[in-house]
């Protein structure tokens, strides 16, 4: 039995106890986690500082270091997000349908935990807390494998959470962290059939593709975010600039940040001249088509096909001037990752056309793509943003970590 099988077997055993626990005990455990995270903030930050120092030594970009970094403010935000989950309605036992059949059988369709949720993710240590408490609240044990960049932070957070749940009487193996970040442990998780019930990858395109293509365990695919802002011919230019700058610059290292601006030719000159200065303040590198360069000058780098297909996760943006909304939608269909797409327009007809035709987990009219988030959608913390179409799509909260069971009650009926 390899290390992953040992950890997953322990989690499986703990999941039996957890699934039978009531809402009150699970809420007590989640609340204890929030308190302990705050209480141990100094220890967590000290571990995080070691991760940041190692990341800088390894030449990791500042935008990715921002994803990795924890401050006291961020620690308290994590604790508050945990408390938000505590306040959410418990999905376990929720009646999803049913009725009485003509033969008298009573059928109830109820929500139950998935069992053991495995998660392979990259450099954001807050994901460790988010994933664990969402699994805990929904009655699932979890096996978490973060990236090597955040391993010290993840160990400190997991240690804190395990102590918290143990203090209220639940098995500490309800939350398990894989401390070996080698490629082999990821591979072993992908093959842990019968021990891990579902696997969720969260990170870059390479990680997600590897899990989807190689796992024999069922996978919920969370997607990369090559998100677009389409500025329509009728767009309010001031609004378009605010949305574009927020979507690109407020936190470029996250999956709901905009990576490409598509601009109708009739709005191109006004929008590009208005957005250039705000983008310059953030030192955003613009990679544009030939018409973009005619407006902004040759200092703008010429965009390649690869640029239009890239999730930069950095202060870079690709720009394309289009002749019609149809061309914009065709571009999104070719290069988008079905995450979040936005149209800025004053045309009701074009807004409806865009929302009907664009295939993405979240489609926005006159609002930043940065809102694609479990907290912003009222789900509390999220375990990921699914870009697939089966089981879950978009930000995944508590209910997405459940499945259904049919409970059938009879009086001796036979068939």
Question: Tokens representing 289?
Answer: 């088509």
Which letter does DSSP use for residue 88 in this model? S
**Would you say residue 305 has pLDDT above 80?**
yes
12/248 Cα distance (integer angstroms): 41
Q: Give the model's pLDDT for residue 1.
A: 86
Beta bridge partners of 41: none
Return the bridge partners of 9, or none: none
Helix (H) or strand (E) holding 4: helix 3-20
CB 209 within 8 A of CB 388: no
Q: What's the pLDDT band for 177 if we cut at 50, 70, 90?
A: very high
Token pair in block for residue 244: 């574009």
State the Cα–Cα distance between residues 192 and 414, nearest whole angstrom. 38
Question: What residues form DSSP beta bridges with 363?
Answer: 341
Which stretch of 184-193, 329-338, 374-383 has the lowest confidence by average pLDDT? 374-383
Structure tokens at 168: 């209220």
Task: Reply yes or no on whether the pLDDT at 234 is more than 90.
Answer: yes
pLDDT band, residue 66 (cuts 50/70/90): confident
Angstrom distance (rounded) from CA 31 to CA 36:
9
Task: Assign 375 to helix, strand or coil.
Answer: coil
The pLDDT of residue 383 is: 86
Stated as kind and residue range, the H or E segment containing 142 is strand 141-145
String of DSSP letters for 311-325: ---SSEEEEEEESSH
Tokens of 287: 């990679």
Are the beta carbons of 374 and 349 closer than 8 angstroms? Answer: no
């Amino acid at each position: 039995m390899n290390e992953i099988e040992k950890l997953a077997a322990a989690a499986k055993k703990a999941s039996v106890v957890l699934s039978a626990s009531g809402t009150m005990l699970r809420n007590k455990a989640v609340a204890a986690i929030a308190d302990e995270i705050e209480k141990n903030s100094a220890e967590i930050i000290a571990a995080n500082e070691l991760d940041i120092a190692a990341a800088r030594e390894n030449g990791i970009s500042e935008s990715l270091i921002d994803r990795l970094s924890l401050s006291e403010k961020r620690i308290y935000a994590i604790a508050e997000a945990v408390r938000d989950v505590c306040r959410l309605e418990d999905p376990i036992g929720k009646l999803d349908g049913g009725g009485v059949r003509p033969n008298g059988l009573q059928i109830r369709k109820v929500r139950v935990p998935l069992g053991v949720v495995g998660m392979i993710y990259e450099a954001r240590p807050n994901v460790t807390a988010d994933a664990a408490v969402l699994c805990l609240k929904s009655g699932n044990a979890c096996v978490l494998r973060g990236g090597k960049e955040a391993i010290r932070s993840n160990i400190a957070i997991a240690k804190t959470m395990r102590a918290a749940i143990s203090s209220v009487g639940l098995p500490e193996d309800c939350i398990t962290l894989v401390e070996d970040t080698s490629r082999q442990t990821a591979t072993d998780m992908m093959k842990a059939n019968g021990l891990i019930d579902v696997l969720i990858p969260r990170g870059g395109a390479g990680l997600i593709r590897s899990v989807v293509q190689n796992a024999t365990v069922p996978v919920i695919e969370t997607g990369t975010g090559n998100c677009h802002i389409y500025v329509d011919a009728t767009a309010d230019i001031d609004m378009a600039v605010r949305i574009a700058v927020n979507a690109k610059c407020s936190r470029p290292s996250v999956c709901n940040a905009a990576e490409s601006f598509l601009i109708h030719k009739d709005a191109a000159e006004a929008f590009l001249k208005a957005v250039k200065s705000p983008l310059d303040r953030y030192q955003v590198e613009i990679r544009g088509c030939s018409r973009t360069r005619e407006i902004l000058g040759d200092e703008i780098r010429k965009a390649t096909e690869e640029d239009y297909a890239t999730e930069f996760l950095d202060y870079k943006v690709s720009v394309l001037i289009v002749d019609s909304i149809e061309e914009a939608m065709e571009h999104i269909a070719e290069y988008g990752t079905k995450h979040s797409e936005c149209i800025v327009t004053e045309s009701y007809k074009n807004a409806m056309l865009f929302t009907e035709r664009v295939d993405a987990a979240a489609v926005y009219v006159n609002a930043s793509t940065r809102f694609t988030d479990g907290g912003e959608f009222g789900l509390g913390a999220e375990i990921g943003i699914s870009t697939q179409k089966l089981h879950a799509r978009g930000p995944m909260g508590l209910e997405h970590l459940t499945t259904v069971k049919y409970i059938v009650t009879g009086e001796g009926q036979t068939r």
